[in-house]
Homo-oligomer: A and B are copies of this chain.
Amino acid sequence: MEDRKAVDPPHPAQDVTEHVGYRLKRSAAALRGAMDRALREHGLTVPQYACLELLDERPGLSNAELARGAFVTRQSMNVVLRGLQDAGLTSRPAAADRGRALPAHLTAEGRARLDAARSVVYAIERRMVDAVPQRRLAALLADLDRMAEALDG
């Protein structure tokens, strides 16, 4: 017992399940699980949905840009984008106009799929938002951003 290094917890807590990291993981996992279940009926996975949303908002994003926008590596996004392409939901030119970036776009089918799916995702987020006192929402979002920035630089 005396040999064990005493490490101060990140903030006052009885155990690890009270730590900010644990609770952040918990809510993120809850969101992920709920989205998985809801999007499944629309034939979409969460990463695919995220990709479609980003493309809807900014048509022509490259694989690397999509990866950055979805907080994954470009290798991961390559796999997701390939799957979407194979499913006919997105399209990309075979070669780049200049450089190496291939601008991706939603197909009509992709757009239709996204439109059908987004309402279930928004409903889930709605439930999260409704669980938080309205006056605290902006601060909560700002705190999340600050924590992310503190780690990302």
Chain A: residues with CB nearer than 8 A to chain B? 4-5, 7-11, 15-21, 23-31, 33-35, 50, 53-54, 57, 69, 71-72, 111, 115-116, 118-119, 121-133, 136-137, 139-141, 143-152
Q: Which residues of B contact A115 (CB under 8 A)?
A: 4-5, 7
Integer count of this chain's copies in the complex:
2
* Bound CA–CA A124/B9 (angstroms): 11
The CA-CA distance from A25 to B9 in the complex, in Å, is 24
Bound-complex Cα distance A122 to B16 (A): 10
Min CB gap A117→B, angstroms: 10
Closest chain B CB from A35 CB (angstroms): 8
Residues of B within 8 A of A20 (CB): 125, 128-129, 137, 140-141
